[in-house]
């Protein structure tokens, strides 16, 4: 175990801690252990960015069977090594710092981005620290006073925050120092620390509320969705922020409004305006005061509420299983209606439940769903910039960009073979399944019903709003095409027992198989385009697709069964 | 070898979670050298009692004294004399066994090299020498259980609280651990042992305490309990005292439901 430099720094304050009644040696030891354990986890931010390259191994080492064997060899804190990703993300703020002297506007943006990034990574990566229920049994049963344990926990979180914010804010801080001078730099620095306090307090308060009114499972869901949001937010945020400069005119004057009091990032811009621009208006002064007082009040409240927080944590270990009965029955009905055989309906139900509940699956797949909603719009906007207006767009055939959301189909079809709970897959081998095709068919149908159709509906509604009702026949054709496309993806990617492999085993050579699939999707798009040129072409296209679908979903599976699949596994 | 001075005294201990009373007035004196088998059905309040004594749960009423100290005060020094084996899940398993054990030892105030040396010996004796430096997450259930057992004994405590200490251990290891517990008790250590496996409790406990509904319903050595209740095994006594006599009819119902399906 390393002796961390951070801890050596902390040693200088030994006297102060002991003065507060903290058992310093023990607290230091707890921190050392906690930091070591953090070093062996992989932050969400890295896990996802490395997925596309060869990195799944990196994510795998932690949560898979590989982990124990490599002992304690590579301790050189993986967390520290991941910091450059945060620094890279922080670059996005530089333009806001340098572009002008409209501090109110620029710094609101900067602190808004900081709030989003730091808070989401705190929630997604450090929830396990805040919410570790093992602490209770392991630490409280030892001869330690409560102050030592609370202090260790608080400092642990603050150390983590310090590193993340330092990494994220460093680029813009340096640029700010060069561009705007030392006073700006100092205000910026102090405010970053205050923002950290605010974030810790806000996060704890959020957990407190969720735990107060819901159970632990709900909180785990909240954390899961924040992780998903972080992944989507960062990817899309990048697309948008840089495009933003083309759309928004930054020279306009800032106008104070009452609702800005609800947005902490706006307060944080206040002091810059107050000190640097000499704006002494009531709003700016009020913002500045809030910036100074609220974070400090927040962190004090947090320390005070710690015991109550710990008590609520107990809920995390409690098992409660309430489920909305009505909805389950609805899905079962849909399953019966969708599936020919009972076996198929069983796997339809199983796959739907896994898609909706398995958190690791959601973490891996839902961001893809998010992207595929956004993708068509990114292309639409790119075309907008080429000088055409929205009304011009509405009469054209740009709605065919909706095909881009079909990109999710192959990647989700691949992901259907994986799960965080792959060990449960022994059941496929232990039970006598008469027709393996029922397994694949039921699973794919569940994907269509629970993921693809809802997503497509959202997309279709927005598109209809832009392009008008005239595109509805086209949209129906696209949906039929996506059904067929799902079948084709399944054929080309090969059947895989659903939810039977760990995510670490996702292989990159599979992405190679994606390329022909993308071409196929493009081909569908072109055929559709050609069909729109003919009169009634769309209906013809629709008819062909319908017949193809019927053949594929009724006959397609029986043909496959002999050739490949279960026997060879 | 009962001494006159009890090491644990509990007086009128009550505990409430929300509306539900978990403990309804427990009175108990535990003497040095006893191996207490603390048994009861699920939800009877066994682990709550243990957790209160360890200072993990607050908000009880009544008095608990351990080694003469009232644990309600801010004093935590009494915990130096206590060892605790929690359930298996309660372990920092991303650490190696070595790291975990020295950490725990140091929390008890031991020197690092001392904790390291002792845990290495103890691991070696229990046949885990080769995995001393491996992460606990890669261990089997039985190996983790051994690590927990060592972590509870590193600092040579006077009282030992064990929660299902034999789960996951193979038959040979069970024999070793049972022998260890007997030797420790012989040397004057007190062991407070909760388990659901009646055979083991029956064999190793010098005194058995059965609680049900938050109250002590039986207290005495196995022989004494047998005389009072005219039943053959501890399992039978347990069933009788907890008012459970439906096992036969429940089993019959279960099997008849199983038999309904004919494929």
Which residues lie below 8 Å from residue A562, measured CB to CB, with a gap of 6+?
Answer: none
- Single out the residue of B51, B2, B5 nearest to residue B221, CA to CA: B2
DSSP assignments along B127-176, one per residue: T-GGGTTSBGGGS-HHHHHHHHHHHHHTT--SEEEEESTTTT--HHHHHH
Residues A288 and A383 in one domain: no
Distance from CA of A145 to the nearest CA of B (A): 6
Residues A394 and A298 in one domain: no
Which residues lie below 8 Å from residue B145, measured CB to CB, with a gap of 6+?
Answer: B85, B88, B165, B166, B167, B168, B169
- B197 phi-psi bin (left φ>0, alpha ψ -120 to 50, beta other): beta
pLDDT at position A476 is 92
Q: Which of A285, A317, A349 is the last residue of a domain?
A: A317
Residues A468 and A536 in one domain: yes
Residues A151 and A101 in one domain: yes
Residue A168's domain comprises 18-55+78-317
Do residues B158 and B102 lie in contact, with contact meaning Cβ atoms separated by under 8 Å?
Answer: no
- Single out the residue of A411, A416, A380 nearest to residue A397, CA to CA: A380
3-state percent helix, strand, coil for chain A, nearest multiple of 5 = 80, 0, 20
**Going residue by residue through chain B (263 aa), what tens digit of pLDDT does each one get?**
445 678 999 999 988 876 778 888 889 999 998 999 988 888 778 888 888 888 887 778 899 999 888 888 767 788 888 999 887 668 888 889 999 999 999 988 888 899 999 999 999 999 998 999 888 888 888 899 999 999 999 999 999 999 888 888 888 888 899 899 999 999 989 999 888 888 888 888 889 898 888 888 888 888 888 787 777 788 888 887 777 777 788 888 888 888 887 76
pLDDT at position A430 is 78
Beta bridge partners of A549: none
Q: Judge whether A353 lies within some domain.
A: yes
pLDDT at position A370 is 81
pLDDT at position A567 is 37
Q: Judge whether A13 lies within some domain.
A: no
* Order of strands across the sheet that contains B159-163: B82-85, B159-163, B190-194, B35-39, B207-212, B215-220
Residues A297 and A368 in one domain: no
| Residue A36 forms contact with B (CB below 8 Å) | yes
pLDDT at position A484 is 92
Q: Is A138 exposed, middle or buried (0-12, 13-18, 19+ CB in 10 A)?
A: buried
Question: Taking CB atoms and an 8 Å limit, are B99 and A139 in contact across chains?
Answer: no
Q: Judge whether A62 lies within some domain.
A: no
- Token output for B252: 């019959």
| Residue A68 forms contact with B (CB below 8 Å) | yes
Q: Which residues of A touch B76 (CB under 8 A)?
A: 143-145
Radius of gyration of chain A (CA): 27
Do residues A499 and A416 lie in contact, with contact meaning Cβ atoms separated by under 8 Å?
Answer: yes
Residues A87 and A119 in one domain: yes
| Residue B160 forms contact with A (CB below 8 Å) | no
Q: Which of A282, A317, A352 is the last residue of a domain?
A: A317
In the stretch 123-152 of chain A, residues with CB closer than 8 A to chain B read 134, 136-145
| Residue A71 forms contact with B (CB below 8 Å) | yes
Do residues A495 and A417 lie in contact, with contact meaning Cβ atoms separated by under 8 Å?
Answer: no
Q: Which residues of B touch A1 (CB under 8 A)?
A: 99
Question: Taking CB atoms and an 8 Å limit, are B103 and A139 in contact across chains?
Answer: no
| Residue B139 forms contact with A (CB below 8 Å) | yes
Q: Which of A289, A317, A345 is the last residue of a domain?
A: A317
SS3 annotation, A68-99: CCCCCCCCCCHHHHCHHHHHHHHHHHHHHHHC
Question: Taking CB atoms and an 8 Å limit, are A134 and B109 in contact across chains?
Answer: no
Residues A287 and A349 in one domain: no
Do the bridges between strand B69-70 and strand B207-212 make them parallel or antiparallel, or are there none, so unpaired? unpaired
Question: Taking CB atoms and an 8 Å limit, are A144 and B55 in contact across chains?
Answer: no
Cross-chain CB nearest to A40 (options B84, B90, B94): B94
CA atoms within 13 A on the CB side of A98: 13
The whole-angstrom separation of Cα B221 and Cα B31 is: 13
Q: Please give the DSSP secondary-structure letter assigned to residue A508.
A: T
Alpha carbon separation from B246 to A281, A393, A419, B213 (Å, rounded)? 79, 75, 41, 18
Residues A307 and A349 in one domain: no
Q: Judge whether A11 lies within some domain.
A: no
Q: Which residues of B touch A69 (CB under 8 A)?
A: 134, 138
| Residue B74 forms contact with A (CB below 8 Å) | yes
- Token output for A207: 């957990």
pLDDT at position B138 is 86
Quote the number of domains for chain A.
2
Q: Is B254 exposed, middle or buried (0-12, 13-18, 19+ CB in 10 A)?
A: exposed
DSSP assignments along A150-187, one per residue: HHHHHHHHHHHHHHHHHHHHHHHHHHHHHHHHHHHHHH
Q: Judge whether A139 lies within some domain.
A: yes
Q: Euclidean distance between the first and final Cα of chain A, in Å?
A: 42
Do residues B129 and B113 lie in contact, with contact meaning Cβ atoms separated by under 8 Å?
Answer: no
Residues A175 and A309 in one domain: yes
Q: Judge whether A68 lies within some domain.
A: no
| Residue A432 forms contact with B (CB below 8 Å) | no
pLDDT at position A62 is 34
At residue B40, the 3 state secondary structure works out as coil
Question: Taking CB atoms and an 8 Å limit, are B84 and A141 in contact across chains?
Answer: yes
* Order of strands across the sheet that contains B69-70: B20-31, B6-17, B61-66, B69-70
Query: Most distant CA pair in chain A: distance in Å?
Result: 86
Q: Judge whether A526 lies within some domain.
A: yes
Residues A289 and A352 in one domain: no
**Going residue by residue through chain A (569 aa), what tens digit of pLDDT does each one get?**
667 788 888 888 888 888 878 889 889 999 988 888 877 765 555 554 433 333 222 233 333 333 333 333 444 456 677 778 788 878 878 887 877 777 777 788 888 888 888 887 777 666 666 667 778 788 888 888 877 887 888 788 888 888 888 888 888 888 888 888 888 888 888 888 888 888 888 888 877 777 777 766 777 777 777 777 777 776 676 666 655 555 555 555 566 667 777 777 788 888 888 888 777 777 778 888 888 888 888 888 887 777 677 666 666 655 555 555 566 677 777 777 877 788 888 888 888 888 888 877 887 788 888 878 887 887 777 766 665 566 666 777 888 888 888 888 888 888 888 887 777 877 777 777 777 888 888 889 999 988 899 889 988 998 888 888 888 889 999 999 999 999 998 888 877 788 888 776 666 566 677 788 888 999 999 899 888 888 888 899 999 999 999 888 888 776 544 444 443 33
Residues A152 and A201 in one domain: yes
Q: Which residues of B touch A72 (CB under 8 A)?
A: 96, 99, 133, 135
- Token output for A159: 């150390």
pLDDT at position B125 is 92
The vertex-A264 CA angle with A259 and A268, nearest 5°, equals: 115
- Single out the residue of A365, A423, A374, A442 nearest to residue A402, CA to CA: A374
In the stretch 500-539 of chain A, residues with CB closer than 8 A to chain B read none
Do residues A28 and A7 lie in contact, with contact meaning Cβ atoms separated by under 8 Å?
Answer: yes
Residue located via tokens 């759309």 = A247
Tell me which architecture the domain covering B6-260 has in CATH.
Answer: 3-Layer(aba) Sandwich (3.40)
Q: Judge whether A324 lies within some domain.
A: no
- Single out the residue of B226, B225, B83, B202 nearest to residue B154, CA to CA: B83
Residues A241 and A362 in one domain: no
Q: Which residues of B touch A316 (CB under 8 A)?
A: none
- Single out the residue of B82, B201, B200, B90 nearest to residue B144, CA to CA: B90
Give the start-to-end residue ranges of the domains of chain B: 6-260
């Amino acid at each position: 175990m390393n002796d961390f430099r951070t801890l050596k720094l902390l040693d200088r304050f030994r006297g102060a801690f002991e003065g507060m009644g903290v058992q310093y040696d023990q607290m230091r030891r707890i921190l050392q252990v906690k930091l070591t354990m953090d070093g062996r986890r992989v932050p969400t931010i890295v896990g996802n960015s490395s997925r596309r390259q060869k990195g799944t191994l990196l994510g795998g080492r932690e949560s898979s069977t590989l982990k124990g064997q490599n002992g304690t060899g590579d301790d050189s804190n993986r967390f520290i090594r991941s910091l450059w990703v945060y620094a890279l993300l922080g670059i996005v703020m530089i333009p806001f710092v340098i572009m002008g002297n409209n501090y109110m506007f620029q710094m609101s943006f900067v602190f808004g981005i900081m709030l989003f990034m730091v808070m989401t990574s705190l929630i997604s990566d450090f929830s396990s620290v805040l919410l570790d229920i093992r602490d209770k049994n392991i630490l409280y049963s030892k001869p330690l006073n409560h102050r030592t344990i609370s202090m260790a926990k608080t400092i642990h979180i603050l150390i983590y925050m310090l590193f993340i914010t330092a990494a994220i804010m460093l680029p813009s801080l340096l640029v700010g120092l060069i561009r705007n001078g030392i006073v700006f730099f100092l205000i910026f620095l102090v405010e970053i620390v205050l923002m950290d306090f605010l974030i810790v307090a806000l996060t704890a308060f959020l957990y407190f509320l969720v735990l107060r009114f819901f159970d632990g499972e709900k909180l785990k869901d909240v954390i899961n969705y924040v992780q998903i949001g972080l992944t989507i937010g960062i990817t899309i945020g990048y697309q948008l922020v840089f495009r933003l400069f083309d759309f928004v005119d930054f020279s306009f004057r800032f106008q104070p409004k009452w609702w800005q009091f609800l947005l902490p990032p706006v307060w944080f811009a206040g002091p810059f305006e107050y000190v640097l621009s000499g704006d002494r208006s009531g709003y700016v002064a009020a913002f500045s005061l809030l910036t100074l007082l609220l974070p400090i009040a927040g962190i004090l409240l947090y320390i005070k509420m710690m015991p109550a927080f710990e008590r609520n944590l107990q809920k995390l270990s409690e098992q409660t299983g309430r489920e909305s009965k009505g909805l389950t029955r609805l899905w079962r009905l849909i399953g019966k209606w969708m599936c020919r055989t009972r076996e198929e309906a069983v796997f339809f139900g199983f796959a739907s439940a896994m898609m909706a509940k398995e958190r690791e699956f959601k973490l891996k797949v839902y961001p893809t769903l998010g992207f595929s909603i956004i993708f068509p719009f990114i292309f639409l906007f790119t075309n907008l910039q080429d000088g055409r207006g929205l009304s011009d767009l509405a009469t054209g055939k740009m709605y065919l960009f909706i095909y881009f959301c079909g990109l999710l189909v192959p990647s989700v079809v691949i992901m259907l073979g994986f799960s965080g709970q792959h060990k449960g897959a022994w059941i496929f081998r232990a039970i006598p399944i008469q027709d393996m095709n029922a397994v694949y068919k039921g699973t794919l149908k569940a994907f269509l019903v629970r993921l693809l159709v809802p997503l497509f509906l959202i997309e279709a509604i927005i598109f209809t709003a832009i392009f008008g009702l005239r595109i509805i026949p086209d949209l129906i054709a696209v949906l039929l095409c996506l059904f067929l496309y799902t079948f084709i993806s399944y054929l080309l990617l090969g059947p895989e027992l659903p939810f039977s492999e760990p995510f670490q085993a996702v292989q990159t050579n599979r992405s190679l198989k994606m390329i022909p699939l993308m071409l196929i999707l493009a081909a569908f798009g072109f055929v559709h385009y050609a069909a729109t040129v003919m009169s009634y072409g769309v209906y013809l296209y629709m008819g062909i697709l319908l017949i193809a679908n019927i053949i594929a979903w009724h006959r397609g599976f029986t043909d496959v069964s002999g050739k490949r699949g279960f026997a060879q596994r | 070898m009962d001494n006159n001075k009890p090491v644990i005294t509990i007086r009128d201990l009550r505990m409430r979670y929300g509306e539900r009373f978990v403990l309804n007035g427990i009175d108990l004196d535990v003497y040095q050298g006893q191996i207490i088998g603390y048994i009861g059905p699920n939800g009877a309040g066994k682990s709550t009692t243990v957790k209160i004594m360890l200072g993990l749960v607050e908000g009880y009423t009544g008095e608990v004294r351990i080694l003469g100290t009232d644990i309600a005060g801010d004093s935590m020094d009494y915990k130096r004399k206590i060892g605790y084996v929690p359930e298996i899940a309660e372990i920092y398993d991303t650490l190696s066994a070595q790291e975990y054990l020295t950490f725990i030892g140091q929390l008890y105030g031991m020197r690092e090299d001392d904790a390291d040396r002792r845990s290495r010996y103890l691991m070696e004796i229990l046949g885990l020498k080769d995995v001393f430096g491996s992460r606990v997450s890669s261990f089997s259930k039985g190996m983790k259980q051994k690590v927990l057992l060592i972590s509870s004994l590193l600092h040579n405590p006077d009282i030992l609280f064990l929660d299902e200490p034999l789960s996951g251990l193979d038959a040979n290891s069970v024999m070793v651990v049972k022998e260890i517990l007997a030797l420790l008790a012989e040397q004057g250590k007190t062991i407070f042992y909760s388990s659901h496996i009646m055979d083991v409790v029956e064999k190793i406990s010098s005194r058995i305490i059965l609680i049900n509904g938050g109250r002590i319903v039986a207290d005495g050595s196995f022989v004494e309990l047998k005389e009072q209740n005219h039943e053959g095994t501890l399992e039978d006594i347990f069933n009788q005292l907890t008012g459970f006599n439906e096992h036969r009819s429940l089993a019959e119902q279960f099997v008849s439901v199983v038999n309904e399906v004919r494929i």
